[in-house]
Amino acid sequence: MIGIVSYGFYIPKYRVTVDEIGSMWGKNPSEISASLNVIEKTVPAQDEDTLSMAYEASSMALGENIVPKKDIGVVYVGSETHPYAVNPTSTILAEFLGITGEYLASDTQFACKAATGAIISAQGLIASGFTKNALVVGSDRATGKPHDALEYTAASASVSLLLGQTNVAVEIVDALSFSSDTPDFWRREGIRYPSHGGRFTGKPSYFHHVYSASKKLLDKNKLHPQDFAHCIFHMPNGKFPQVVSGMLGFTKEQTSQSLVVSLLGNSYTASALMGLVHVLDIAKPNDLIFMASFGSGAGSDAFVLKVTPEIVNVRKSLSTAMENKEYINYATYIKQMGLI
């Protein structure tokens, strides 16, 4: 059995509402909220970045020496917003955490699925005997160009997963990836803001890849939507995951616990993982959980997960953390994001 031994998360306390952003640009806030199913999003402080958030999440995951640091032989950090273009986030994070010497460090990129792809790689390295444990982090300080559609949803957060074979709380039963060259979202080196293909990001990108990866994994394992207690899909907004959930035959009840996007926004590589840790707030031993991420460019990683009795020993409360928030206005938002 290989899976999640422990996990941690970090969300900034600051929030800006969709109403506040829409009002700034003379838009009808209620129409925007209704179209996106997003009410507000997280905003990092001026001194918070992908690395600092990854450290907070990982410190929670590792807790009080939950495993010896020498047994963590892999550190992966998936992100679209690494602090440096050249200088790994993963080695700095490992140093801060006290992981030194003999370990494999790597920064991964694949838009919003950079971390879930790393989970599959880490699982293979554990299975091969390369390492006893692996730390996989999804962390982003995401932003969109002012007055662009992304501005309403691009948010910040971090999730850290400690993977291993001992005291597994969430087993990775199986995983499957589906990919193609579909450039729906991109940012060239040195360009500050990402570009996207508008409506092109929907049917040929998000829906095609998430549906394909999910359907193929369900068929491979001879499983059906009704076999699962919960399902989680990448959340670029509040509507897409509900649509693809229905396409696959999952119910609204199975999806509801994961939909943190309405109050946190789209934290890119942390997005699907934030949905997972919110599900783990209430998941019970032996529950099956389905999860599918999405990364523009494009691809999806789908997972069948099974909760074990160990969950009671490592469970944290994302719901409680979400209640700690402070609202800011648009001027403060663009200042903290470094947009002025």
Q: Where are the domains of the chain?
A: 3-169+315-336, 172-309
| Catalytic sites, residue numbers | 80, 112, 234
Cβ–Cβ under 8 Å, residues 155 and 39: no
Alpha carbon dihedral 202, 207, 210, 212, in 10-degree steps, equals -140
pLDDT of residue 76: 98
Fold of 3-169+315-336: Peroxisomal Thiolase; Chain A, domain 1 (3.40.47)
Cβ–Cβ under 8 Å, residues 303 and 118: no
pLDDT, mean of each 10-residue run, the chain (340 residues): 98 97 90 92 97 98 92 97 95 97 96 97 98 98 89 97 98 98 78 69 88 98 98 97 98 98 98 98 98 95 98 97 97 92
CA distance 267 to 154: 6
Q: Give how far the C-alpha of residue 134 lies from the chain's centroid of Cα atoms, to the nearest Å.
A: 17
CA distance 308 to 325: 32
- Listed in order, strand segments (DSSP E) in the chain are 3-10, 14-17, 40-43, 72-78, 104-108, 133-141, 156-164, 170-182, 185-186, 195-196, 230-233, 288-292, 297-307, 326-327
Common-topology check for domains 3-169+315-336 and 172-309 = yes
pLDDT of residue 187: 76
With a CB cutoff of 8 Å and minimum separation 6, the contacts of 170 are: 3, 4, 280, 289, 305, 306, 307, 308, 311
pLDDT of residue 198: 65
pLDDT of residue 108: 97
pLDDT of residue 44: 98
What CATH code is assigned to 172-309? Answer: 3.40.47.10
Residue among 137, 108, 114, 140 nearest 44 (CA)? 140
Q: Determine which helix (DSSP H) or strand (DSSP E) holds 274, and give its type and residue range.
A: helix 271-279
